[in-house]
């Protein structure tokens, strides 16, 4: 039996254009729609540029009628609030994050440099050397060492002390530990060999008064990890940390939020535009199928990982 599933998204390549796109997942799409989808693959359908959202929706529904069930009705709208509703009230406390580290439930950690950072690195650097990178919610991302080895400097923020200590230990670095007078209860861990400073505190206690502004930000597992209700507050903080030449690489995930409660949470492109579009230029750099057995086990039927490059509007 054919099993075609379609979701509609809108992408904003620039603040002025909205181009509908649909995702098709399944075995085989109808032939007369001239698209063959191999079993268990996931492809992007890009409807012609001049199609309206409604035309795209009709097209998607027609694909859908050829088999399988679909979550299309709730997704066919551009109504962002309804898209976000399934996860809107989800909260992970700082204590729950710390427990995850204590119990070693850190499936998000990758032992290699993140592909989306590597692939888009030239665009982040834009020819610059010795860039100051900010890592909100840094965990023990090995990307921090990779950057420092290339002569960049890194400031990270992370609530889990264990994560920070593991970062230094696993990368064979020694560190010194200091209090941060401006943030009660916080500590900063500084590498003795590399230009890496990791602040152990709640991200929302961090500000540009601590370390100034940054030339680049790598946001992976951060906007998608904070509680959905805090996104506006988070965006305001990130914008305040951007130097005028800042290049902010933002990694987000698209999936059906009715199937998994998160984190990581679902962040549609529309919301990226809403959060940053007024103050920043936003460019969609890359969108890939990121489905693995891990997400299949969460109950997801597809997962798309997207990176946007965000930079302050010049004026
Ligand atoms: N960016 C890292 C970690 C992602 S998981 C990576 O890609 O591997 C999110 C991390 O944020 C966890 O390590 C968690 O402990 C931390 N965290 C969550 N909320 C936080 C907050 N409000 N302030 C500081 N750290 C937080």
Q: For 242-270, what is each residue's pLDDT tens digit? A: 999 999 999 999 888 888 999 999 998 88
Please report, in angstroms and rounded to a whole number, the separation of the first and last CA atoms in the chain: 56
Segment 126-152 shows an average pLDDT of: 98
Of 103, 158, 198, 233, the one to substitute when testing ligand 1's pocket (max ligand atoms within 8 A of C-beta) is: 158
Closest CA to 219 of 235, 201, 195: 235
Separation between Cα atoms, residue 279 and residue 314, nearest integer Å: 9
Q: Mind listing the pLDDT tens digit for each residue in 55-114?
A: 555 555 555 544 332 333 333 334 677 778 899 999 999 999 999 999 999 999 999 999
d(C-alpha 242, C-alpha 239), whole Å: 5
pLDDT tier at 302, thresholds 50, 70, 90: confident
What sign has the CA pseudo-torsion 163, 142, 246, 152? Answer: positive
- Whether the model clears a pTM of 0.85, i.e. scores above it, the answer is no
Those residues whose C-beta lies under 8 Å from the C-beta of residue 244, and which sit 6 or more positions away, are: 312, 314
Does residue 204 surpass a pLDDT of 90? yes
Cβ within 8 Å of residue 30, ≥6 positions away: 2, 4, 62, 63, 66
What's the CA gap between 227 and 92, in Å, rounded? 6
Average pLDDT, the chain: 82
Q: Which of 159, 164, 185, 207 to mutate to test the pocket of ligand 1 (most atoms within 8 A of CB)?
A: 159
Distance 204 CA to ligand 1 centre (A): 12
Give 186 Cα–ligand 1 centroid separation in angstroms.
15
The highest-confidence range among 77-86, 223-232, 292-301, by mean pLDDT, is 223-232
For residue 204, the ligand 1 atom closest to its alpha carbon is 22
Of residues 302 and 205, the one with the higher pLDDT is 205
């Amino acid at each position: 039996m054919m099993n075609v599933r379609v979701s509609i998204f809108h992408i904003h390549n620039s603040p002025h254009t909205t181009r509908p796109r649909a995702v098709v997942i399944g075995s085989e799409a109808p032939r007369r729609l001239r698209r063959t989808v191999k079993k268990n693959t996931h492809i992007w359908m890009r409807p012609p540029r001049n199609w309206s959202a409604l035309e795209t929706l009709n097209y998607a529904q027609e694909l859908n009628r050829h088999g399988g069930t679909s979550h299309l009705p709730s997704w066919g709208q551009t109504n962002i609030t309804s898209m976000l509703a399934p996860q809107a009230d989800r909260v992970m406390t700082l204590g729950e994050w710390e427990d995850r580290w204590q119990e070693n439930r850190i499936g998000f950690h990758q032992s290699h440099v993140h592909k989306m950072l590597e692939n888009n690195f030239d665009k982040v650097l834009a020819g610059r050397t010795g860039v100051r990178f900010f890592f909100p919610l840094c965990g023990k991302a090995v990307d921090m060492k990779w950057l420092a080895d290339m002569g960049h400097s890194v400031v990270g923020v992370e609530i889990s002390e264990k994560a920070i200590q593991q970062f230094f230990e696993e990368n064979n670095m020694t560190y010194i530990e200091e209090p941060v007078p401006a943030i009660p209860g916080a500590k900063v861990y500084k590498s003795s060999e590399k230009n890496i400073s990791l602040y152990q505190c709640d991200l929302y206690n961090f500000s540009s008064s601590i370390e100034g502004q940054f030339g680049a930000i790598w946001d992976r597992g951060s906007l998608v990890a904070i509680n959905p209700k805090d996104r506006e507050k988070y965006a305001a903080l990130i914008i305040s940390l951007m130097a005028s030449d800042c290049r902010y690489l933002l990694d987000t995930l698209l999936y059906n939020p009715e199937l998994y409660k998160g984190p990581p949470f679902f962040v549609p492109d529309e919301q990226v535009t809403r959060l940053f579009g007024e103050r920043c230029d936003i460019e969609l750099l890359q969108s890939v199928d990121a489905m693995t057995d891990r997400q299949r086990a969460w109950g997801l039927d597809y997962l798309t990982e997207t990176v946007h490059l965000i930079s302050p509007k010049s004026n």
